[in-house]
Amino acid sequence: MRKAKRQADPLLCNVAAAQGRVEQPNALFSALDDALKSAIGHKLFTILTYDGDSGEAARVYSNLPGPYPTGGRKRLAPGPWTEAVLDRGEAYIGSTHDDLRNVFPDYELIASLGCESVLNMPVRWRGRTLGSLNLLHESGWYGADDIAACLPFAQLALPALLTQS
């Protein structure tokens, strides 16, 4: 009797294939954007790198470069969000406008884009958060199941984030 063959996830395969393209990191970041839009959904998608020594985050990708251009940097203040996402490597889900206001100083700009929920998915290597994939959408969009769905995509971003630091 022949064993049933398993099908590979085409979205993950597309992202993995993008890692081999010459035009890095844009090929990989764009493939992540497309795959995550299809798998989970987002209106705004950014990728940040984190420098633990300086305490700064740098935006290395944005699907909306007008309001959120690449190259933007910000200093991260210590608090519950940084402790969870950066220190412990836990994903953060904010489901409402109030959740975003409590965490992000640019919550008004976020809301102006029709976004009131967020999934911040850390990208980790050797116990350190090197960056995060940040998906934002309408209120209540993200749930705990989205964390598991996002994890393999986040870790596929690792080679590009290692070369950014």
The number of folded domains in the chain is 1
Evaluate the omega torsion of the peptide bond into residue 67 and state whether it is cis, within 30 degrees of 0: no
Q: Is residue 2 part of a domain?
A: no
3-class state of residue 17 by DSSP = helix
Q: Is residue 101 part of a domain?
A: yes
Q: What is the pLDDT of residue 80?
A: 86
Q: Is residue 47 part of a domain?
A: yes
Q: Is residue 84 part of a domain?
A: yes
Local confidence pLDDT in tens for the 165 residues of the chain: 677 778 889 999 999 999 999 999 999 999 999 999 999 999 999 999 999 888 899 999 999 999 999 998 888 888 888 899 999 999 999 999 999 999 999 999 999 999 999 999 999 999 999 999 999 999 999 999 999 999 999 999 999 999 875
Q: What is the domain extent for residue 60?
A: 10-164
Q: Is residue 110 part of a domain?
A: yes
140: CATH: 3.30.450.40
Q: Is residue 156 part of a domain?
A: yes
Residue carrying structure tokens 């940084």: 82
Q: Is residue 37 part of a domain?
A: yes
pTM: 0.93
